[in-house]
Chains A and B, each alone.
Chain A
Amino acid sequence: MEKARVIRPEERIPSVPEKLFLFRSCTGSVEYPGTESAIRETLKLLGIEAVMDPDQTCCSGYLLTCSAHKPEVSLAVTARNLAIAEKKDLDTYTFCNGCFGYISELASILLHNPAYLEMANGIVSKLGYRYEGKTGIYHVQELWYRLKESIAEKVVRPLKGLRVATHNGCHYVARQYGILDDGGYPTFHEKMFEMLGATPVFYKERQLCCGYSVGRGFTHKETMVQPHLYKKFKSAKEAGVELLTTVCPGCNVALDREQPNLNMRYGEEFGIPVIDLAQLIALALGVPIQKLGFGANTTSLDGVLEKLGA
């Protein structure tokens, strides 16, 4: 009751960073490299330098929640990755809800449990690292929201009222405290859409999970995930959604690559393309289409791009 749940962007990111440590997402960089590219281009346009480090490894959160890793190794890996950011004296920005959720949770466990911190530092110190808890952990969606006015000013390709809806994903609002929006009814993505000239659409199953976060897309695809995604897409289609955005490459994989399977199984043509919020922003800010990597998308963006005259 005492800790603030929802805080304003200025409280979350008091001063806009000039340089930030961009945490590489495994799924993002491999499945949807366009997301990584869009983020880099957008940050360039906003005058922010993105630093990546080849020494950074996978956040090891996904397989932790799939029960393939034990918490000990994930705590140690997190301590090492964050120590890399700390050595550069930069804040860590992820572009995957998964990375954000796992790293935040693991860092929070480390910082609230001295025994775990000692264990993790004991291990990583053998490799020359030490985690102190100095680096802030953010998701780039927070930065976009913080800089929404600057982004709005730089729009050169307004989205002409395109009916865009968000898939918030689960792991950002699940943090609950000290985040930019309410887990019960988040609206800040829709505010971003308005800034870009699109029409935000609230569809009934907006807050439904993508089903892929702990590999249930591998183990329970037909039994659980497909009927579940069908509910989501049915609701989106009924609301007239033309484009879905995500802030997590994992969600993007689920929503984009499952669509043909859903079409086949349920005999419907959903045809709703799914891109990252950063790609949408980059599109509106005039970044050349080739740099946005829409070739990686299974569900084609041709219809949308034609509508926007891009």
Chain B
Amino acid sequence: MGHEMELLMGDRTKTVIVIGGGPAGIEAALGIARAGYRALLVEKEPELGGTLNRLYSSFPRWENPRDLLDSKIGELRNCKDVMVMTNSVVTECRQTDAGYDLTVSNAQSGESRNYPVDAAVLATGFDLMDISVYGEYGYGIFPNVLTPLDFETKLKEWSHGEGEKPRSVAFFKCVGSRDRSKGRPYCSKICCMYTAKQAGAVKEMFPESKVYVFYMDYRAAGKDYEEFVRDVIENRHVRYVRGRPAKVLPENGRLLVRAEDTLMGLPVEVVVDLVVLASAVVPRPDTVRLAEMLGAQTDRYGFVEPQKHNPTRAGERVFFAGGCGFAVEAPFAQLQGSAAAAGVIALFNGG
């Protein structure tokens, strides 16, 4: 560790801090380092990967996210110009003529160190909205109402043969999204796809279970996306009901879902064991805090706002990638990371 520190501080080639070690940040760090600069990859959790770590599977190819992460971590290991700092957060930041003066604190060792850098890439990822405001769905009140990330954990449990087998599961889409009353007015983009994935995964593991997806629309705008959703509906027999559910009520230890099937024009009721609420994607509080420190613009929701005509740049010496800009899928987070790296390289070469 100390040897790397010397390299970093001694030979003063340009250094970039990449805040966030998910797919976006990893790709940005690799891009920067391969171009001959130094990257500090700062990640607050004990391991790299971000939200991807929590996922059981991915769309549209049903791949294991672990494979992608292992491959990328291998690349990082072979890249001597990336210094990976896990369990670390940026606690202070001062803008200088040449870039930033940052303090990074390590939660594990308790140490804080100062680093001068020439540019920054924000890749702090997204969070899910706190949906306990939807009292009618009972999150936080009834035990079997889950967030999608909780459910990915459940899928992992089931795949190891642990946990109770579900007889039926209901997925609600647009919880907190497309809602001007209690949530966010925007569409969170990824929920239609990951809900189809989660529903399809349940049917794969438990073919006799009844799986319902309550939707207003399904948005499958991407390569292989529509085919993925149709496969879940047509081959895996997940029942899609068009209608945002009105209420979740307890019934004999299970959960009763009341909704209207708007295509039939009739109220419907189903009894399920689990309800999964596809929650709106929101920025993390860290994003807003760091953006302010780095001089990056954010929009009224707290997502990082790009400069005009430059979708990867948020300020004079700060770029961004991934979920901190808006909801995004892992491959596109990687793309944005590469774009941010290219932006940094251009900056250092007079661009």
Contacts and interface: CB of A to CB of B under 8 A. Distances in A.
B184 A184 contact: no
B319 interface: no
A1 B179 CA distance: 9
B251 interface: yes
Interface residues of B, number: 17
A183 interface: yes
B136 A185 contact: yes
Nearest to B250: A204
Contacts of A176: 181
A204 B135 contact: no
B160 interface: no
Nearest to A186: B135
Contacts of A182: 133, 135
A185 B184 contact: no
Given A204-B249, A204-B250, A184 B183 contact: no
Given A185-B138, A185-B141, A5 B180 contact: no
A184 B135 contact: yes
A184 B134 contact: yes
A94 B136 CA distance: 27
Given A1-B185, A5-B182, A184 B136 contact: yes
B183 A1 contact: yes
Max count, chain A CB within 10 A of own CB: residue among B135, B181, B183, B251: B135
Given A5-B182, A185-B138, A204 B133 contact: no
A186 B135 CA distance: 8
A1 B136 CA distance: 17
B275 to A, nearest CB: 14
A183 B250 contact: no
B137 interface: yes
Max count, chain B CB within 10 A of own CB: residue among A176, A185, A202: A185
A151 B185 CA distance: 42
A5 B250 CA distance: 25
Interface string B175-194: 00000111111000000000
Give chain A's interface secondary structure class: loop
A186 B141 CA distance: 11
Max count, chain A CB within 10 A of own CB: residue among B181, B184, B249, B256: B249
Nearest to B134: A184
Nearest to A184: B135
B134 A1 contact: no
Contacts of B256: 204
A1 B141 CA distance: 23
Interface in A1-34: 1, 5
Nearest to A235: B249
Interface in B242-273: 249-251, 256
A1 B135 contact: no
B138 A1 contact: no
A204 B183 CA distance: 26
A5 B135 contact: no
A207 B108 CA distance: 49
A185 B135 contact: yes
A268 to B, nearest CB: 20
A5 B133 CA distance: 9
Nearest to B184: A1
B251 A204 contact: yes
B132 to A, nearest CB: 9
A175 to B, nearest CB: 13
Interface in B45-72: none
Contacts of A204: 249-251, 256
Contacts of B134: 184
Contacts of A186: 135
B283 to A, nearest CB: 15
B137 A184 contact: yes
Contacts of A202: 250
B180 A1 contact: yes
Contacts of A1: 180-185
A183 B246 CA distance: 12
A182 B137 CA distance: 12
Contacts of B137: 184
Contacts of B136: 183-185
Interface string B118-150: 000000000000000111111001000000000
A183 to B, nearest CB: 7
B29 to A, nearest CB: 36
Given A184-B133, A204-B249, 14 more contacts: A1-B181, A1-B182, A1-B183, A1-B185, A183-B135, A183-B136, A184-B134, A184-B137, A185-B135, A185-B138, A185-B141, A186-B135, A204-B251, A204-B256
22 contacts: A1-B181, A1-B182, A1-B183, A1-B184, A5-B182, A176-B181, A182-B133, A183-B135, A183-B136, A184-B133, A184-B134, A184-B135, A184-B136, A184-B137, A185-B136, A185-B138, A185-B141, A186-B135, A202-B250, A204-B250, A204-B251, A204-B256
Interface of A: 1, 5, 176, 182-186, 202, 204
Sorted from nearest, which 4 A-B pairs have the closest CB atoms?
Answer: A184-B135, A185-B135, A184-B136, A182-B135
